Structure 1
């Protein structure tokens, strides 16, 4: 078969699409690259020409950052809180997503709609009630408080992703497990969970990023270095009359790298979950 030649209009449209994609990549990567390069500059270089390359590549800014703020302590707190809240979020909402996708009960759609509406509630509207509940429970300035809050914050999006993931699994697999004598929990754990690994990975990545980058509740519910998280370390690099930009950009680089690494590792699972249910077989 002869390949038809593309018309000038088609070539122009294709070139425009590539140009648009390249522009999106530049817009997405430029802030990250700029922050990383700025972490190797001096304050003078940053203030004189923010777009120039650093005169030399050294780790003085990172050494200053570690000396000014308890970054390693905050890093450990963030890691503990984000990992535990992600595990709780995914495990609890996986069971909820499975029930909403595969079981029938009264008011199922109504209950799902109410839980999904939590996604549109602004964070500022939650500050006062969450603070009141946490203080009455005696959990103020504890890691447990942030773990509970972060587990709940990711609930709507995790429920939506996991419900779709379980809905895409053929019902015959579940029925075969019940015929073989498996109970609800065994069917859920040994049959349904492995089949929904793409959705589980997507929900876990989004929940981890939410817990890792969250600032408002970490500031509201903590007051000591033993419980504060990495985003709060940036306040150490400002004073009344000056900013230590080099150390601050180094701290920002340390803070964002784990998010980039986690997404890069699980990128394939995240992308596969987005197409779950589009092809059956």
Structure 2
């Protein structure tokens, strides 16, 4: 073989130029559109925050200042309205009743829904699919159609006008939504994770608690928040099922509170701040998990 042939054999053959379609660059939005979007979002945030700020500032001012200058600033702040709302208006009773009912019912419904959703997501049986359909059908049941049988059921067990009966009702009506969300997240998890845990000697409970639960944490946070808020703000069920004022939750307690303190604006604002503060705190703590839960799977 000649030297020319050997040199030609050593020259690497260049790959053909990639097609133009594969060389497309990622388009980016224009700076003007980004600026307009940012300004619109900040305006929306300001509109949403201003009423909360007015409520907080007016709760720290005496009534005589609210009558002369409704939009003034609290200098110096006056916390006596919180004392009147918490002690004299029985807001402490309403607040702790709402905390007990909401936290307990959300905890029960989340635990039950986690176990049910995991079993439904990991089974391909037709019977299990039918059971899941029964769970999901609870989302289509109107609240007003359920109240009469619920009332007679609780009355037969002696649970009318008790916090236990209200907790059971809230936990039951929260399960369909929670099962739907959690089962969807469990189905997105690959089965190889369970096979690897099984090879390591993990049992079903250990596999569920140590492997699957941490992976669906965003879904759990989403379920907790989306059930905590409507239960905390619910007025219908406590109005029908609770007769004893000592067992009132905040929404029902607010109605009597407004009637008794309709001329005491500072105390009214303080009561509204007390009722709103747990929701604001919950969103501040769980915002990251909520966003992760709502956007999970979008990039797939």
Label 1:241 to 1:88 Cα distance change in 2 as closer, same or farther (>3 A).
closer
Corresponding position: 1:249 with 2:269: yes
Deviation at 1:113, TM superposition (A): 4.2
Matches of 1:213 and 1:99 in 2, distance apart? 31
Alpha-carbon distance, 1:11 to partner:
4.3
TM-score of the aligned structures, taking structure 1 as reference length: 0.84
Match of 1:135 among 128, 141, 155: 155
Give the conservation status (yes or no) of the 8 Å contact 1:98–1:163: yes
Higher Rg of the two aligned structures? 2
Whether 1:64 aligns to 2:84 is: yes
Whole-Å separation in 2 of the counterparts to 1:132 and 1:97: 30
Deviation of 1:49 (Å):
5.7
Q: Which digits, 9 at most, give the CA deviation of each residue in 1:81-104, with x for residues without a partner?
A: 222112111110011211222211
Q: Matches of 2:61 and 2:153 in 1, distance apart?
A: 45
Which segments of 5 or more consecutive residues in structure 2 lack a partner in the other structure? Answer: 1-27
In structure 1, distance between residues paired with 2:246 and 2:254: 16
Q: How big is the alpha-carbon RMSD for the aligned residues of Structure 1 and Structure 2?
A: 2.7
CA deviations over 1:147-173 (Å, ceiling 9, x no partner)? 111112322332222112212222111
Distance across 1 between alignment mates of 2:82 and 2:137: 42
User: Is 2:235–2:252's contact at 8 Å kept on the other side of the alignment?
Assistant: yes
C-alpha separation between the residues in 1 aligned to 2:125 and 2:269?
Answer: 52
Partner Cα distance (2:298, 2:260) in 1: 56
Q: Tell me what 2:174 maps to.
A: 154
Counting matched residue pairs gives: 273
Choose which of 113, 119, 140 in structure 2 pairs with 1:99.
119
Cα separation, partners in 2 of 1:120 and 1:35, compared to 1, 3 Å: farther
Q: TM-score, normalised by structure 2?
A: 0.79
- 1:87 maps to 107
**Farther off after superposition, 52-61 or 151-160:** 52-61
Shift of 1:259: 1.5
Instruction: Provide the C-alpha distance between the structure 2 equivalents of 1:76 and 1:155, rounded to a whole number of angstroms.
Output: 23
Provide the residue aligned with 2:17 in structure 1. Answer: none
Q: Distance in 1 between matches of 2:261 and 2:116?
A: 51
C-alpha displacement at 1:190, in angstroms?
A: 2.6
User: What is the deviation of 1:106?
Assistant: 0.6
CA distance in 2, matches of 1:44, 1:181: 71
- Write the distance in 2 (CA, Å) between the matches of 1:87 and 1:139: 20
